[in-house]
Amino acid sequence: MGVTEKVMQAVGRAPMIALLGNPNCGKTALFNRLTGARQKVANYAGVTIERKEGQFTSPAGHAYRVLDLPGAYSLTAHTPDEEITRDVVAGLRAGETSPDLVVCVVDATNLRLNLRLVLEVQRLGLPMILCLNMVDVAKKRGIEIDADKLARELRMTVVETVAVQGGGEKSLLRALDEAWPVAPAAANPLAAIDAVSVEDTQREVRRILAIVANDNQASDSLSEKIDNVVLHPFAGPVILAVLMFLIFQAVFSWAEAPMDFITGTVEGFGAIVKEHMADGILRSLLVDGIIAGVGGVLVFLPQILILFFFILILEDCGYLPRAAFLLDRLMGGVGLSGRAFIPLLSSFACAIPGVMAARTIQNPRDRIVTIMIAPLMTCSARLPVYALVIAAFIPEREVYGMNLQGLVLFCLYFAGIFSAMGVAWFMKRSLGGKRQQPLMLELPSYHWPHLRNLAIGLWERAKIFVTRVGTVILSLMILLWALSSFPGAPEGATQPAIWYSIAGMIGRALEYVFAPIGFNWQICIALVPGMAAREVAVGALGTVYALSQSGDELATSLAPVIASTWSLATALSLLAWYVYAPQCLATLSVVRRETGSIRYPLMMAGYMFALAYVASFITYHAARLLGA
């Protein structure tokens, strides 16, 4: 047996630890600390929505497997993500038994709420360690918890941790090694859920608290002060709007220098290849297909990172649930719950995590409506399309001290949000929704964003984007280049070769459908690969125009080319199209998985396509009437 196989076998037999606890108590931070993983950590409830497995070796050399789980207030699950947690702990998942050991993580600043789950889990009869996390914050606020007394009352090992500090997990590792080897559980977890009344549990929590915790708990006065302003009925929404607006301004004004740098590098690279390679098919593939296409998409990395820099800060400091709270009334007006805010916000990255985050919504109907409108939020794949068209057609000037390009971008994002609200209102009415339940949302304490979280978040974003560019987008670009280059121009051709190619034929056929909304055959070609990944549309335009050009112009400077060949009406129509842009196959397949039905993805594709066509039609003809 080889070394790797031995290691694999050891890992296979290693005891399974489950990290269990209320939302936002630091389970994932602890999981990352133990395993060196980079799972998402943020300051709001419901960040983790799936079970994640990792492994590590303790200082004494024992191997463990560890599970990070979605937070739960109770084992009697109310939402799909809580169900995952309950099923894992109770060993209800197919092919899985209960974990060998439960590490129950609690937020030391909020013991009253957290202990309830601890008592519930204790009744399962599984071996258990209690992890008092965030003791750093608790100490700062003068909260004293006697860990020894707590251990005695609960009859289990209690350790103190600080999951966001290097070494803050050591006490847990020590306790794990002391518990080694973990005795196999002889429990029947399923029978224990629901066995004891809530009142009895509450009484027990109060009894334990009286023994282990001091009374003079200073409330978090700083958070309260900030909330007085941020949640103010008038100032609150104004602050939210200004924040959002500033972010979009920054996306354009800060990105200029790094984007110029990337464009310059890509162009320089293209020029070198052109100079040193003989004219021919390979050079065309490299220059027109790969460099023009992939480079054209890569240039939008800075804008994506700037957008996420702000979103990550808002996530980590604890502002997001406040925004959900502020928007609850507004969202209630169209029949959505404030709970939908975070899934919808996640959709600004990509609709896929957004659709999955809808698992935290309790009411099935609210959940479906949220899933259905998630793709109307402007995902980061649309940003390149917007940015390209804006850079080509919207002059870079100041209007009342605001960057006009940023303003247009803001309007496009807003158009998506506004349409989503309209669709939600319509769906709620036709589904016959009941009145909203009040929003129950925990408002976490504010804290400064952890630089590490921020850096990891940005790094992961950049990695996702660059990987996508290097895999999906690259292969689509090569395919598109091939379809656009063959079979080549016939004798005595009057048009560029691409006009006669397979892609050209497809584009010209589609033009019959899309001419009424102002799209030429080049745009029609780009729409097709755009179905697999929206940003490919930009790369595709790069390739299509590079191949349409006779001269030596490189299509990385695509903006001036389209600025001179499209009318403003066409450009605006394309922007309107991409506000809805139903073409994202990956989202449709996730919607199918999450709703367990083919009906919803079909409905989604249908209504988005219809909206896209109607919006583009109106935009195009209105713009033409106005002389654009």
Residues near Mg ion (CB under 5 A) = 28, 47-48
Residues 590-619 that bind ligand GTP (CB under 6 A): none
CB-wise, 99 or 289, nearer to ligand GTP? Answer: 99
For residue 103, the partner it binds in ligand GTP, Mg ion, none, with Cβ less than 5 to 8 A by kind, is none
Q: Look up residue 175 and give its two tokens.
A: 């306790």
Q: Look up residue 247 and give its two tokens.
A: 């972010």
- Identify the CA nearest to 24 among candidates 100, 134, 103: 134
CB-wise, 136 or 204, nearer to ligand GTP? Answer: 136
Strand 16-21 versus strand 157-160 pairing type: unpaired
Kindly state the number of chain residues that form the binding site for ligand GTP, as judged by CB under 6 A.
27
Q: Quick one: which segment of 130-138, 413-421, 472-480, 483-491 binds ligand GTP (CB under 6 A)? A: 130-138
- Identify the CA nearest to 22 among candidates 69, 72, 67: 72
Peptide bond into 353 cis (omega under 30): no
The reply on whether position 570 binds ligand GTP by CB under 6 A is no
The reply on whether position 346 binds ligand GTP by CB under 6 A is no
CB of 103 vs Mg ion, minimal distance in Å: 13
Selected binder of ligand GTP within 20, 103, 162, 469 (CB under 6 A)? 162
By residue count, the chain amounts to: 628
- Yes or no: say if 17 and 103 are a contact pair by the CB < 8 Å rule: yes
Q: Look up residue 623 and give its two tokens.
A: 């713009």
Selected binder of ligand GTP within 16, 18, 41, 345 (CB under 6 A)? 41
The reply on whether position 42 binds ligand GTP by CB under 6 A is yes
CB of 25 vs ligand GTP, minimal distance in Å: 5
The reply on whether position 316 binds ligand GTP by CB under 6 A is yes
- Identify the CA nearest to 25 among candidates 139, 123, 136, 163: 163
CB of 27 vs Mg ion, minimal distance in Å: 5
The reply on whether position 27 binds ligand GTP by CB under 6 A is yes
- Identify the CA nearest to 541 among candidates 569, 513, 570, 509: 570
Helix/strand/coil for 49: coil
Helix/strand/coil for 67: strand
For residue 23, the partner it binds in ligand GTP, Mg ion, none, with Cβ less than 5 to 8 A by kind, is ligand GTP
Q: Residue 12 CA to chain centroid, in angstroms?
A: 31
- Yes or no: say if 133 and 194 are a contact pair by the CB < 8 Å rule: no
CB of 442 vs Mg ion, minimal distance in Å: 14
CB-wise, 39 or 616, nearer to ligand GTP? Answer: 39
Q: Residue 236 CA to chain centroid, in angstroms?
A: 25
The reply on whether position 25 binds ligand GTP by CB under 6 A is yes
The reply on whether position 85 binds ligand GTP by CB under 6 A is no
Bridge partners (DSSP) listed for residue 68: 19, 52
Strand 63-68 versus strand 16-21 pairing type: parallel
CB of 106 vs Mg ion, minimal distance in Å: 14
CB of 71 vs ligand GTP, minimal distance in Å: 3
The reply on whether position 322 binds ligand GTP by CB under 6 A is no
Binding site for ligand GTP (CB under 6 A): 21, 23-29, 41-43, 45-48, 70-71, 133-134, 136-137, 162-164, 316, 450, 453
